[in-house]
Structure 1
Amino acid sequence: MNKWEYKTIKVKPGGFMGGKVDETEFERELNQFGQYGWEVVSCFDTSYGQGTSREVIVVFKRPVVD
């Protein structure tokens, strides 16, 4: 049976009331976690409403090595 560990990060969008993620910085951060064996399993935003985002939440997993 596979065993997994999970990690969650929150990314704050920029701009007035949020809503704009720096794609280059976001990709750099995802790649950094990937180099340590983390795989993205979910990514979603929490909204203020009317198209603005409060934060983007990314969930990663990687196998536990016994």
Structure 2
Amino acid sequence: MEKWEYRTIKFQTGGFFGGKLDTNEFEAMLNKMGEQGWELISCFDTSQSQGASRDVVTVLKRRK
């Protein structure tokens, strides 16, 4: 039976009202994790107010 391990990484957004994600930092981290065998399986944001995002949360998995 295959076994998996999971990791969650949270990225904070910036900007005056929030909701701005540093895409360079985001992509660099995902590429770094991919090189270590991690696969992105989910990505979602958490609400702040008036539709702005507070955080972006990623969930990754890899075989044990």
Q: Which category describes the TM-score, using the shorter chain as reference length?
A: over 0.9
Give the equivalent residue in structure 1 for 2:52: 52
CA RMSD of aligned residues (A): 0.9
User: Any runs of at least 4 consecutive aligned residues in structure 1 with deviations exceeding 2 A, and if so which?
Assistant: none
Deviation at 1:19, TM superposition (A): 0.1
Q: Give the TM-score of the pair, scaled to structure 1.
A: 0.90
What is the aligned residue count?
64
Task: Determine if contact 1:19/1:53 at 8 Å carries over to the other structure.
Answer: yes
Gaps of 5+ in 1: none
Q: For the Cα contact (< 8 Å) 1:17–1:54, is it kept in 2?
A: no
Normalising by structure 2, report the TM-score: 0.93
Identical counterparts, % of pairs: 59
**Is the CA contact (8 Å cut-off) linking 1:10 and 1:55 kept in structure 2?**
yes
